[in-house]
Structure 1
Amino acid sequence: MGPAAGLAALLAVLALRAGDPAGAAARGDTFSALTSVARALGPERRLLTLLRRYLRGEEARLRDLTRFYDKVLSLHEDSATPVSNPLLAFTLIKRLQSDWRNVVHSLEASENIRALKDGYEKVEQDLPAFEDLEGAARALMRLQDVYMLNVKGLARGVFQRVAGSAVTDLYSPRRLFSLTADDCFQVGKVAYDMGDYYHAIPWLEEAVSLFRGSYGDWKTEDEASLEDALDHLAFAYFQAGNVSCALSLSREFLLYSPDNKRMARNVLKYEKLLAESPSQVVAEAVIQRPNVPHLQTRDTYEGLCQTLGSQPTHYQIPSLYCSYETNSSPYLLLQPVRKEVIHLEPYVVLYHDFVNDVEAQKIRGLAEPWLQRSVVASGEKQLPVEYRISKSAWLKDTVDPLLVTLDHRIGALTGLDVQPPYAEYLQVVNYGIGGHYEPHFDHATSPTSPLYRMKSGNRVATFMIYLSSVEAGGATAFIYANFSVPVVKNAALFWWNLHRSGEGDGDTLHAGCPVLVGDKWVANKWIHEYGQEFRRPCSSRPED
């Protein structure tokens, strides 16, 4: 199979199906791209229209009922109303025999609610699935972990990092948006259902606190109640080893629902456990954060996401510099690109204003109809995974002349052949709620990787373009090299994945930090070994 056929095979593996745009997000995948989340505003607007019609219908109905009530009440309030008057006597009999029956059995209320329900059923297929709610809840937990966010602060709409007694504002929204008790309960329940009591307990604690403060003020949209939150929190504490808290919460539950036999049995069970082991009355179990076996560099990764790592300043290392780059290319002579050398080993360069706003928007628009859940290589397969939350699309250079221009610009800057089959088509990525990509290599580390189906070698270099800005988070962190690069709108980040010997550069292990606030778009151009033999000659020296 030749290089061109290999490229076609790779794209088939990556599931880009011509003629099958993903215009409507697959149910269960809405949370994995912000553009899909934004698209969900459309169905909610339709639901708002339906609810407005329902409310107007109900308001008219209630006005008519109020009129009837006032009319009858006025007759009863007039003590001089004589039933001896045959007209009044007739209307009394008629009201009791006919009017009240018509009022009570009026179909108008049922017609109004039926119209609302019918409209909802038509919209329902376009609404996020329960998997989206789970994904969004896990995203909040991810942000909570990586950025050390306080749950109470998040519930108030405040993004604060809490480390001991130190509190740092990571993002100050123009408008505070707080979570309800039911919102917090749903996040906690997702963790609870996964057996993740480390995350479940603080969210359920906040739900209980908020439900207590508004007890008796039931809201139509709420799915849970104080009793539900107490029930889940009590069992979460029991599972975490804190029997004393479990008992206290269970007793509180019985104050609101004294006839609940299951909870009464739990109280007896907890009392017995504490009687047998009095030390547990004051013991407080330390709940460990769930382990992530595949992420051995978690602490370094999260530390780099929270800061800009140990990236040195240009004054400390003079070999790091900024310049106007032409790379001796006639293409760039009249319009050189601003180049900033970020790091030397690995060699990482940031090209500022590589694209302009119009070009960035055009690329996003070309990709949006084709976005599908991003996958990673797992052996010879490609699978969606929790450690990569985004959607992506592959754009051939035949889609729009802009993509040809982009290839020429990348080739001029890097001096590499970026035409297929020596480079992959442009991959455009939109990150989801808390979207991220945990530490990984861009180059293949296994001989069975699908990348080799292109028959053009490994990925020698990465050229990544930031197509948007974000308010907070989303940095690109190089784990072993211990530095990170914030999102710089319209800039492009370039680095070599392989040494000149063809061996992978371990220092290029990198990650896309979770997006705290904002809509992150990037475009990746992966350039392969073959075709670069005279552009980047090989070397047998490991240090090259």
Structure 2
Amino acid sequence: MYSSMTNIQQALETEKVLIEHLGTYLQEESYRLNDLNRFYEKVREFHEKARTPVSDPVVAYTLLKRLQSEWTNVVNNLEAGDNIKVLKDGYEKLERHLPILEDVEGAARALMRLQDVYALNVKDLAKGVFQSGPESLYNLQYRPAQVCAMSADDCFHIGKVAYDMEDYYHSIPWLEEAVSMFRGSYGSWFTEDEGSLEDALDYLAFSYYKAGNVSQALDLSRECLLYDPDNQRLAYNIAKYEKIMDETPAIEHIEEQQLHRPNVTHLRTRDLYEGLCQTHGSQPWLYEDPRMICSYDTNRSPYLILQPLKKEILSLAPYVVLYHDFVSNYEAEKIKGIASPWLHRSVVASGEKQAEAEYRISKSAWLKDTVDPVIRNLDVRIAAATGLNARPPYAEYLQVVNYGIGGHYEPHFDHATSPKSPLYRTNTGNRMATFMIYVSSIYLVGFIS
């Protein structure tokens, strides 16, 4: 090549092309690094500004989703290299500790449950605002908006979870919000995302179709086909929707089906307890009674003479009493620390056996009084307050229940209602009383006699 100036000139032109390729590569690399830096700043800002993330359902959901899918997408999209190998190796060592898909889908269903129970608005929820009426359900003063707000992909995932359950009552508003957010940032693709505008439009269109709104399904499918013109399935759906519209009288296009929330047999009391939850704990004045007082109470027990209980009567019929500061902060933390390694999915009675159920979402552990003096002292205090024998076999062990995001237990009886229950085959007999202690907003200790 060096023997000919013509060839050297050609080499110069070749290098110009290589420079162009390198420039394109550097530009694309800068886009990739900027995108990674954006993800890094988003996560770093979350940890710096969200001081109590696990107590906030939206923050908890986005955290689980980020650990289960977004980090996976980011790490697996990185190109080969020594520095990237170190990151991937570190990620793989932590992989077994990360949430699984079931955790994220459960968190999505929990947000839908909160949405219903407290009559919350999807647009507000997407912004991290839990507003129902004049008050917010959560103390939002410490929460920066950018830390709590959901992304389009977050909303898309919740809508898809509802769609997969054939729950179009919930899938439509969440997918609508996802479409709106994707439209606002169309052309910007984030490495951690799994969904896209096309995906959201596709799922939303079919949700509307299943809900009986063929006209809206047709419009959304046509929009989706603009972004994905080679999608034969979309083209087939559009033809099907057009045929339905041609064959259906115009009056029926207006009278679309009204969406109803999914219902199952164990939700017979749903309207009652949701109405109570939406009062935010307040009660009408007509429930006030001068006999509902606060007092110091010893229940005639020598154990409580020096430190009587702070008693508040909440209801006279049925008789409900609240004892304030029943456990100290130290005892509460001790109980949580002891129970934490033993927590497992809570179960319910199912004939003669026990099984997991969707109407009880929590984890629980049973603690013997021999585990720690704190547990033994608590049993003595419960016995003094109630006048009941708190030791087995007269009472069950302390049950510690930990509720996560949207955790709940539908209204139920603590005592056995079926002759097939194992309680009928024991010498202790059926349950007669339950004593509950709230050791935090998500931990509950129960004593059952």
User: TM-score category by the smaller chain?
Assistant: 0.7 to 0.9
- Counterpart of 1:115 in structure 2: which amino acid? V
- Counterpart of 1:526 in structure 2: which amino acid? I
Indicate conservation of the 8 Å contact 1:159/1:171, yes or no: yes
Aligned counterparts of 2:368 and 2:154: Cα–Cα separation in 1: 42
Query: 1:285: Cα distance to partner?
Result: 2.3
- The aligned counterpart of 2:411 is 439
Query: 1:312: Cα distance to partner?
Result: 6.8
**Is it true that 1:188 corresponds to 2:159 in the alignment?**
yes
**Is it true that 1:299 corresponds to 2:271 in the alignment?**
yes
- The aligned counterpart of 2:137 is 170
Structure 1, unaligned stretches of length 5 or more? Answer: 1-30, 59-107, 471-519, 528-544
- Counterpart of 2:136 in structure 1: which amino acid? D
Aligned counterparts of 2:379 and 2:424: Cα–Cα separation in 1: 22
Query: 1:218: Cα distance to partner?
Result: 0.3
- Counterpart of 2:370 in structure 1: which amino acid? T
Indicate conservation of the 8 Å contact 1:314/1:320, yes or no: no
Percent sequence identity over matched residues? 66
- The aligned counterpart of 1:403 is 375
**Is it true that 1:465 corresponds to 2:437 in the alignment?**
yes
Q: Helix, strand or coil: the match of 1:525?
A: strand
RMSD of equivalent CA atoms: 2.8
Aligned counterparts of 1:134 and 1:346: Cα–Cα separation in 2: 38
Aligned counterparts of 1:317 and 1:272: Cα–Cα separation in 2: 65
Query: 1:445: Cα distance to partner?
Result: 1.1
Distance 1:354 1:454, change over 3 A: farther
Distance 1:159 1:316, change over 3 A: closer
**Is it true that 1:524 corresponds to 2:438 in the alignment?**
no
The number of residue pairs the alignment matches comes to 383
Aligned counterparts of 1:243 and 1:337: Cα–Cα separation in 2: 63
Q: Helix, strand or coil: the match of 2:354?
A: strand
**Is it true that 1:244 corresponds to 2:215 in the alignment?**
yes
Query: 1:320: Cα distance to partner?
Result: 2.0
Greater C-alpha Rg: 1
- The aligned counterpart of 2:331 is 359
Aligned counterparts of 2:178 and 2:395: Cα–Cα separation in 1: 51
Q: Deviations over 1:70-94 (max 9, x none)?
A: xxxxxxxxxxxxxxxxxxxxxxxxx
Aligned counterparts of 2:329 and 2:408: Cα–Cα separation in 1: 24
Query: 1:219: Cα distance to partner?
Result: 0.2
Indicate conservation of the 8 Å contact 1:421/1:454, yes or no: no
Q: Deviations over 1:428-456 (max 9, x none)?
A: 11101111111011111112223335421
**Is it true that 1:260 corresponds to 2:182 in the alignment?**
no
- The aligned counterpart of 2:397 is 425
**Is it true that 1:231 corresponds to 2:202 in the alignment?**
yes
Indicate conservation of the 8 Å contact 2:137/2:280, yes or no: no
Give the TM-score normalised by the residue count of structure 1: 0.66
Aligned counterparts of 1:287 and 1:315: Cα–Cα separation in 2: 36
Give the TM-score normalised by the residue count of structure 2: 0.79
Aligned counterparts of 1:283 and 1:150: Cα–Cα separation in 2: 24
Aligned match of 2:172 in 176, 183, 201? 201
Query: 1:309: Cα distance to partner?
Result: 6.7
Residues 461-540 of structure 1 aligned to structure 2 (within 5 Å): 461-468=433-440, 470=441, 520-527=442-449
Distance 1:394 1:454, change over 3 A: farther
- The aligned counterpart of 1:65 is none
Aligned match of 1:335 in 304, 307, 312? 307
Aligned counterparts of 2:357 and 2:366: Cα–Cα separation in 1: 19
Q: Helix, strand or coil: the match of 2:267?
A: coil
**Is it true that 1:269 corresponds to 2:240 in the alignment?**
yes
- The aligned counterpart of 2:181 is 210
Distance 1:277 1:128, change over 3 A: same
**Is it true that 1:136 corresponds to 2:107 in the alignment?**
yes
Q: Which is richer in strand? A: 1
Aligned counterparts of 2:139 and 2:399: Cα–Cα separation in 1: 32
Q: Deviations over 1:158-198 (max 9, x none)?
A: 1122xxxx665333513221111100000000000111100
Aligned counterparts of 2:386 and 2:134: Cα–Cα separation in 1: 43
